[in-house]
Structure 1
């Protein structure tokens, strides 16, 4: 039996339902990347539904439903009746093998979808659970395929932000940079191109080292980028650097471990050296929503959280750094920097 309707602000009428149904868009997005629908529309569009179904080997009814959803999500556009192509945003971010594309990150959702069941598991256990009871970093160290998939996803998410970071980073006088936990070296590539005098050492686990060397060769930067086997916590970091970069590293770890990382960065630096922290920060009002939602990813993947600039500044100061600065770089990303006295 229906009760009386509650009075509600018109702006809030659809808030809960829209949040509930939003997962369908991300599911369709991932399905379109994995099946190559975005790739086909980029290469051969505009295409009709029937032509896209034939080219992809998928069912026409399914492709029609997908097109309708992606068009409403502003990822596909109908350029003339019955013929579809990608919007500029989808052409940039949803097509494989394009510089700056997010396709590698989106594709990882297929095997590692942030489902309600996985979030509940994280809520109950309070720790990483994306690989069941296994530690994610141990899984990557033991399984080169998982390490490669994760490395490719992190490359995808960092490509465009890396270029903006290179424009903002205060590295004009730096000669040696340690990219701690730098994945396949995406950020180091951007920094090496922006600062020809800079040599970047990417500290990573053994499973990732071939990816670093491969990317350096592809970019013609073998003389500026080197890979160094190491562990963020188990082994001492090398010293004598003018800069240390922690890009999407702090949010992977607990507050205590984050403090340890900053002390290690401090010890790795020469006096007067600079620490760079590249993260998607939480604003004083708790937003933006996209950054706040990443806390759920951190819950199931890591022991960490998304940081605010204030919290990071306090931690940096406690480690001994001075002159903390924060600036927005690209989209949801920000750069925090500080100096080791001397």
Structure 2
């Protein structure tokens, strides 16, 4: 029955159940009439959402739980609909068995328009539609943890932060919101930067955040920062590529500067990190890095005394200083 869990959440995003309940369609009959669906089916569906923790029920009336207001309400900064609507069909249950078997044959298939997303990243050939879809998806997935990390003071030693391979700029946005007097640089491929402008404008951070278009692997990186963060970046690449990116960061940082790695950490004793690592393998032939593996990358590059700071859920920030 576990297959229904994610499917129920996808349908909640597709129908905007959270928004309709907030508009006053707070009975199964009202929702069924509004959506032209079965009342009995709606009752059973809402009961499933209730048991999953997304809907409260009292006297046959429904209200959204705190979980729903945070992650299924379109007006929430932490809205997860961009993940649940699944623009790349990453989580299609009818396809996952084939995807698993294909990846075990060393054929990786996160594709858009017939092209490998990994290849588009590395070759700097991401088209605007693919970039926008992936940027929105990754923003939904990572923003809540970025805000948590910044609010806990993990980036406090830094005055100007480079968000490298930034996507929507989740780290840059959270950093600038926590420190209104500081600034950030958002660095990514040109089509991604176009999508990121929406978030910079939405959160009114244009005076603090400078957007710099460029490729992590071939372009000259921006200068003038004393901190650099890779947020959900290194896990898309094998160790040699991760090592080269960390080494480049070391060379560009001034003495006393900091590096930050914001990511889920691999832990073979826990289900979710194990599944997410396998998910990355299926998509890119990559993997999550464990804490010891990331420490090794940092020390090999010349950084001193790496530290781990738990963020939200399974996510953490690893920091280290250039002496």
What's the TM-score, normalizing by structure 2?
Answer: 0.89
- Cα distance, 1:89 vs structure 2: 1.3
- Cα distance, 1:110 vs structure 2: 7.5
**Aligned residue for 1:262?**
246
Do the aligned partners of residues 171 and 296 (structure 1) sit closer, same or farther apart at CA in structure 2, a change above 3 Å counting?
closer
Q: 2:56 aligns to what SS in structure 1?
A: strand
1:290 correspondence with 2:269: no
Q: Partners in 1 of 2:257 and 2:111 — Cα distance?
A: 37
**Of 177, 200, 220, which aligns to 1:236?**
220
Q: Is the 8 A contact 2:135 2:196 kept in 1?
A: no
Q: Is the 8 A contact 2:149 2:317 kept in 1?
A: yes
**Of 23, 34, 40, which aligns to 2:3?**
23
- Cα distance, 1:133 vs structure 2: 5.9
Do the aligned partners of residues 50 and 170 (structure 1) sit closer, same or farther apart at CA in structure 2, a change above 3 Å counting?
closer
Q: Partners in 2 of 1:319 and 1:202 — Cα distance?
A: 23
**Aligned residue for 1:121?**
102
**Aligned residue for 1:134?**
115
Q: 1:272 aligns to what SS in structure 2?
A: coil
Do the aligned partners of residues 58 and 151 (structure 1) sit closer, same or farther apart at CA in structure 2, a change above 3 Å counting?
farther
**Aligned residue for 1:70?**
49
User: 1:239-282 CA distances to partner (integer Å, 9 max, x unpaired)?
Assistant: 44201100111111111111111011112211111000001113
Q: 2:149 aligns to what SS in structure 1?
A: helix
Q: 2:166 aligns to what SS in structure 1?
A: coil
**Of 193, 199, 205, which aligns to 2:189?**
205
- Cα distance, 1:68 vs structure 2: 3.1
Q: Is the 8 A contact 1:244 1:268 kept in 2?
A: no
User: 1:155-212 CA distances to partner (integer Å, 9 max, x unpaired)?
Assistant: 1122221221113445445332211011111221110122234221111111121233
Q: Is the 8 A contact 2:99 2:109 kept in 1?
A: no
In structure 1, the gaps of 5 or more residues are 1-20
Q: 2:235 aligns to what SS in structure 1?
A: helix
- Cα distance, 1:113 vs structure 2: 2.0
**Of 62, 74, 79, which aligns to 1:101?**
79
- Cα distance, 1:130 vs structure 2: 4.2
In structure 2, the gaps of 5 or more residues are none
Q: 1:330 aligns to what SS in structure 2?
A: coil
Do the aligned partners of residues 93 and 218 (structure 1) sit closer, same or farther apart at CA in structure 2, a change above 3 Å counting?
closer
TM alignment of 1:53-68, pairs within 5 A: 53-68=32-47
**Aligned residue for 1:14?**
none
Do the aligned partners of residues 110 and 324 (structure 1) sit closer, same or farther apart at CA in structure 2, a change above 3 Å counting?
closer
Do the aligned partners of residues 333 and 142 (structure 1) sit closer, same or farther apart at CA in structure 2, a change above 3 Å counting?
closer
Q: Partners in 1 of 2:132 and 2:36 — Cα distance?
A: 28
Which shifted more, 89-98 or 141-150?
Answer: 141-150
Q: Is the 8 A contact 2:225 2:253 kept in 1?
A: yes
Q: Partners in 2 of 1:330 and 1:154 — Cα distance?
A: 15
**Aligned residue for 1:11?**
none
Aligned length: 317
Do the aligned partners of residues 61 and 34 (structure 1) sit closer, same or farther apart at CA in structure 2, a change above 3 Å counting?
same
Q: Partners in 1 of 2:107 and 2:244 — Cα distance?
A: 21
What's the TM-score, normalizing by structure 1?
Answer: 0.85
Do the aligned partners of residues 74 and 218 (structure 1) sit closer, same or farther apart at CA in structure 2, a change above 3 Å counting?
closer
**Of 14, 18, 38, which aligns to 1:38?**
18
1:182 correspondence with 2:166: yes
Q: 2:226 aligns to what SS in structure 1?
A: strand
